[in-house]
Structure 1
Amino acid sequence: MSTCVFLIYGVKVSLITNNLAFKNFVQATLQNYGIVSQENHKFQISVRIDFNKKTQIKKSKFRVGNGVFLDEKHKKLAIQHKLFLGEFTQINSNNLSIRGEVDNNFKNKVKHFIKSLAIKNYSYKEMLFHQLYRELILMPVFWVLRHKFEKHLMHASAVSNGKQTLVFLGNDGVGKTTVALKLLKKEDTSFFGDNFLLYDSNKIYAFVDTLRVNKNDSKAIKTYESSSIFKKVYQGKSRTHYNFNKDYISKSARPTQFFVLKQSNKNSKTTISKDQFINYTLAINDYVKEFDKYSYASNLIFLYDTQFNIEQQETDFLSKLVSDSPCALLSLNKDQEVFDLFNKDN
């Protein structure tokens, strides 16, 4: 069995698995959160994922959703994903045990082999590893941060030059990574992430796992491989994964400007109200459906009771976070250089 340990904003995650390739995948993905010694933590998640073992996971007769089964007596939730079985067990108020089991039997092997022949760049392993990581590691951590420690998620990138911190909100493919990386060319600029940001009522917090680049995007791959900021850590059939140099990751900060991104044939900026920015944020979060509230982890509410309205707190925190900062709709031509967004006059 292989083990690795991570610390993500006070949540300690211990992974044990009998699949070395999966352990290496997770370790590379969460490289910036690896720990080698015991550090202070507020919550502990123990994850065990077994491959090709007879199942130990029992589904209760009480179903609380599609593929989700609750055993209230033993404080357990069982999930039935199309690629694996999972189980969440409440140990105590600050401790969660998660196990996942993958049975890649002969029938499944044949099915995925046929798919690999029929579908370009199809990779069962790549798809399985990503889903195991997302559903049994990443989303439970985000759920705990959101429900226990009042840190919410925003689908955005952000950069800082020490004096100003810029947030770029947007849907997938609109240019969040592009604009952040172009601004990172400037000296003394640091990075919060290109996909997820965590926030409370005062600050944003970086979250950087691997940056995933479509293998067809040769221009992006050349950009990453020519920069000292990135290191290739994992190559799948469809995507190449890069780690971000942690020396360039920003500490928490209060944003000074907020931008909503859209693509255009030229670069331009239009002022919007704070209420408009908040509405964009909530709408984009709902559209993307990447967050913990859209994963199996959302059902942890049956095991861990929370005494406050999460959705209302999310909106209240956003309102306080944005209160003193200008907001704008930023139209971008991804092939043009970005004008100096750190200059307030632009």
Structure 2
Amino acid sequence: MTTQLTIRRPDDWHLHLRDGEMLKGILPSTSAHFGRAIIMPNLVPPVVTKADAEAYHDRIRAAIPADHTFEPLMTLYLTEDTNPDDLQAAADSGLIKAVKLYPAGATTNSQSGVRNFSKIAPVLERMAEIGLPLCVHGEVTDSDVDIFDREAVFIDRVLEPLRNHHKDLRVIMEHITTKDGVDYAKQGGENLAATITTHHLIINRNDILAGGIKPHFYCLPVAKREEHRLALRAAAVSGSDRFFLGTDSAPHNDDNKLCACGCAGIFTAINTMSCLAHVFEEEAALDKLEAFTSLNGPKFYNLPANSERMTLIKRDKPTIFPKQIITGAGNVTVFDPGFKSHWDATLTADCRNN
């Protein structure tokens, strides 16, 4: 039985850090474990220009604890008015590593997202030319489409036509939640990959709704049927380089979660590695954990894997995490996976004080 595992330091390829006091309060939960993260740009107002990304990058850097090493990988929020030249300047400078596509109204702070996909064609053409990836929130927002079907419909109505029109565009299907997403990513070729969250490997829609509504399990895309969760698990533990970790860790204070119209988002940054070790052990696939968390993402983004190492140790007693993170913007409840994980993650000494 494996009780200790050393892997390259992981990265998070989909992360919400928010801003202000919330950023300061929750960033250490990520920088304590992850070497890099793709930072989501859906602030209010959103990060739409090179200047916006520079300013946000500076605020993130200022919030990193002195004894942590962490690199924020910036993105721009794609709108129908995005300037291709400004976008390319941000990419050429090394500041941004991707562009984020939100269909308008699909999730938190997506009001400025895309409604008419034909209007973003010039930007997508430029991105394909320079090899800049497009991160996609893959859901339609049509009122006649059931919320549990929005990912599958998006693949058929939007993603497949978009990729056929822009064949050289590199695309990441973010936080896939369905067997449809898994199957599409598998056959999509070298220009397509998909991220999978921690929580979608653990919860299904019964966990949200059965026995009373669980607001802290509510996220977008919403968790689906058990058959879809099992398909996600199979993809994550397969070792396929089409799939890698993007936690979509998305903090909201409890006042905004526990209300008549609660916000979508689950905060998993602090206990993701412990939860994943538990999941991969259940699937007899601990030998595939490094690929999912530390190797496949850098490969798709054409970046080197981290040189630092993380050691995961299975201890006799469960690993204890705080129930809440206290921030100046309010208390943030930590994801409760519903099981006790005995795995504890520790970085090697050279990851700190550098």
TM-score (norm 2): 0.26
More strand by share: 1
Bigger Rg, structure 1 or 2: 1
TM-score (norm 1): 0.26
Higher relative contact order (CA 8 A, sep 6+): 2
More helix by share: 2
